[in-house]
Amino acid sequence: MTVEIFKTNVKNKKVAKHLLKMLHSRLPACYFNFDLDDCDRILRAQTESYSIEINCIIEIVREHSIEICLLED
């Protein structure tokens, strides 16, 4: 299993839900979820069998004028 964690500036559930739809439609092999209660407004990407396309995720989110960056270990 591969997991990547991103810091975002998503502030509400409506925006998060829209982004999740976009991410799922473009990257169906990944599971995504937001933790908007976390101070970093976490976007978590997880996959069982594929590597996670970090740059693609960042591009999709930025297309919607949302700030995003990968949180390093």
Give me the CATH number covering residue 41.
3.30.70.100
CB 48 within 8 A of CB 1: yes
Q: How far apart are CA 72 and CA 62, in angstroms?
A: 19
CA triplet 60, 65, 66: central angle to 5 degrees? 75
pLDDT of the chain, 73 residues: tens digit per residue: 899 999 999 999 999 999 999 999 999 999 999 999 999 999 999 998 778 999 999 999 999 999 999 998 6
Give the whole-angstrom CA distance, residue 13 versus residue 59: 20
In the chain, DSSP finds a helix count (H) and a strand count (E) of: 2, 4
Q: Which amino acid does the sequence have at 44?
A: R
Look up the pTM and report it. Answer: 0.92
The domain total for the chain is 1
